[in-house]
Amino acid sequence: MSTGVVLLNFGEPATPAREQVVPYLERIFYANADLESADSEEQARERAGQLAKRRAPGLIEEYEEMGGSPLNEQSRTQADLLERELTERGQDVAVYLGMQYTEPFIEDAVQAAQEDGVDRLVGLPGYPLCGASTNVLALDELEAALDERDWDPEFRGITGWHRHPSYTRMRAENIDRFAEEKGIGLQAEETAVVFSAHGTPTHYLDEGSRYDIYVEEFCEVLASMLELDEYHVAFQNHENRNIDWTEPETEDLVEGLDTERVVVEPISFLHEQSETLSELDIELREDAIDEGQTMYRVPIPHDDERIGDIFADLVEPLVTGFDPGYYQFRQCQCRDEPGTVCLNAPR
The band of 240, judged by pLDDT with boundaries at 50, 70 and 90, is confident
pLDDT tens figures, 243-290: 899 999 999 999 999 999 999 999 999 999 999 999 999 999 999 999
Among residues 183, 174, 194, 188, the alpha carbon closest in space to that of 287 is found at 194
191 SS3 class: strand
Would you state the pLDDT for residue 242? 83
Q: What is the pLDDT of residues 290-307, one digit of tens each?
A: 999 999 999 999 999 999
Q: In this structure, how many other beta carbons lie within 10 angstroms of the beta carbon of residue 64?
A: 12
Cα torsion 62, 43, 125, 331 to 10°: value is 150
Q: What is the pLDDT of residue 241?
A: 78
Residue 45 pLDDT > 80: yes
Domain map of the chain by residue range?
18-66, 165-297
Q: What is the dihedral of CA 335, 113, 106, 142, to 10 degrees?
A: -20
pLDDT confidence of residue 158:
98
The tens digit of pLDDT for each residue in 66-106 reads: 888 999 999 999 999 999 999 999 999 999 999 999 999 99
* Res 116 pLDDT > 90: yes
Alpha-helical (H) ranges within the chain are 18-31, 41-66, 71-88, 106-115, 137-148, 165-182, 202-206, 211-225, 250-255, 274-277, 285-290, 306-320
Name 198's bridge partners: 236
Mean pLDDT across the stretch 174-183? Answer: 98
pLDDT value at residue 80 = 97
Distance CA 139, CA 331 (A): 14
Averaged pLDDT for residues 161-188: 97
Residues 36, 39, 45, 50, CA torsion sign? negative
- The answer to whether domain 165-297 has CATH 3.40.50.970 is no
Rg (CA), the chain: 20
